[in-house]
Amino acid sequence: MGNNAGLNIYGDGNVCIGASGESGVNNSTYIQNVNTTEQSPAAGVAFVTVRLSDGRLGYQPPVMRSASSGLQDTVEELKSTLARQEATIARQQKQIEALTAGLQKVSAQLEASKPAPQVVNNP
């Protein structure tokens, strides 16, 4: 497909989209300009590969992390989260204590500023 697609290919089972390909190759796929788009690999994801010299496509099986490696990463992440939460709780506890002390002080001041009860005699 495309202008001059497959022009230089002499082989069987080849697919060319806008690319000329190469001589003496079988069962290959070429797409023009596909080798200029960069993608980052990720664990557990399969990739189509591109030979940058000529745009030939292939297959890269997924990179799998071992179960023990994934579990260890999860445990470390949970430990880190727990440490952050404990630090947050300690800060909040100190704030609660300071607020409680301030509230008790204000409450005492209000009690002290109340006028003394007066007794009225009615004959």
Q: Tens digit of pLDDT for each residue in 50-71?
A: 777 777 777 776 666 555 666 7
Owning domain of residue 94 = 65-111
- Among 55, 49, 52, smallest CA distance to 9 is for 55
- Total of domains in the chain: 2
My answer on whether 19 and 44 are in the same domain is: yes
- Asked if residue 56 and residue 21 are part of one domain, the reply reads yes
Give a yes or no: residue 23 inside a domain: yes
Domain assignment of residue 118, yes or no? no
- Give φ, ψ of 79 to 5 degrees: -60, -45
**pLDDT at site 98:** 92
What value does the mean pLDDT of the chain take? 78
Could you tell me if 55 and 71 lie in one domain?
no
Mark whether 49 and 77 lie in a shared domain. Answer: no
In a domain, 44, yes or no: yes
What does the alpha-carbon distance between residue 29 and residue 44 come to, in Å, rounded to a whole number?
24
